[in-house]
Chain A
């Protein structure tokens, strides 16, 4: 599946970077793509428990929610992630981990977004989708 890993370097100490990725007031300042606002949310990654965010622009409104599964300051936070359908049904669950590693000049943020492997059936279903997407990509070009 499409596991995603991203890295960013920051010139601030690890504990301050951790604050930026966990405290509600700070997370609200950056969570979500440019041009989307977050009219409704519970984005507290500084404690375990449920979280959600509603993101919207002029044409789209989407909700994502999950559960904060671990908080280990100033090192890492982990939470589950699932998009909601328009009728509120929550889709397949994935897992996000944000880790902070001190560096000489500040700290590095590692972001991992992985799918939860819940059954062989869903895995084979996904393989089917992926082969179709590959074809789609060649059609779209």
Chain B
């Protein structure tokens, strides 16, 4: 899988999707506070966080015995770029069409 499909696959689980949304809303959050909102056990949340970290969607920082999580903007940017790609695809294709037609016109003159 490419990074994008890994990211989408990681987000296809509603718990993980919720964690990413929570991190986007709140900014950096203590792992324990993420657990509190879900009603899931610490180890269960840890497994979800590992999937999100492996997919490049969240990053973590240790401070003493505490671990803070936040969204990893590069991973999110890749998704945002992907949603823009339809416009980019056609805009650049039409640029090339324009160039090809001009070249063709010159050849006919």
Contact = CB atoms under 8 A, between A and B. Distances in A.
Contacts of A116: none
Given A136-B79, A139-B76, A34 B24 contact: no
B38 interface: no
A87 to B, nearest CB: 8
Interface residues of B, number: 32
B96 A135 contact: no
Interface in B1-55: 1-2, 5, 17, 20-21, 24-25
Question: Secondary structure at chain A's binding surface: helix, strand, loop or mixed?
Answer: mixed
A33 B80 contact: no
Interface residues of A, number: 31
A63 interface: no
Contacts of A2: 83, 86
A139 B93 contact: no
A85 B89 CA distance: 17
A137 B92 CA distance: 23
16 contacts: A6-B87, A30-B93, A30-B94, A30-B96, A30-B99, A30-B100, A32-B93, A33-B92, A33-B93, A34-B92, A86-B5, A109-B97, A132-B24, A136-B80, A139-B73, A139-B76
Interface of A: 2, 4, 6, 8, 10-12, 17, 20-21, 26, 29-34, 60, 85-87, 109, 111, 113, 132-133, 135-137, 139-140
Interface of B: 1-2, 5, 17, 20-21, 24-25, 71, 73, 76-77, 79-80, 83, 86-101, 105
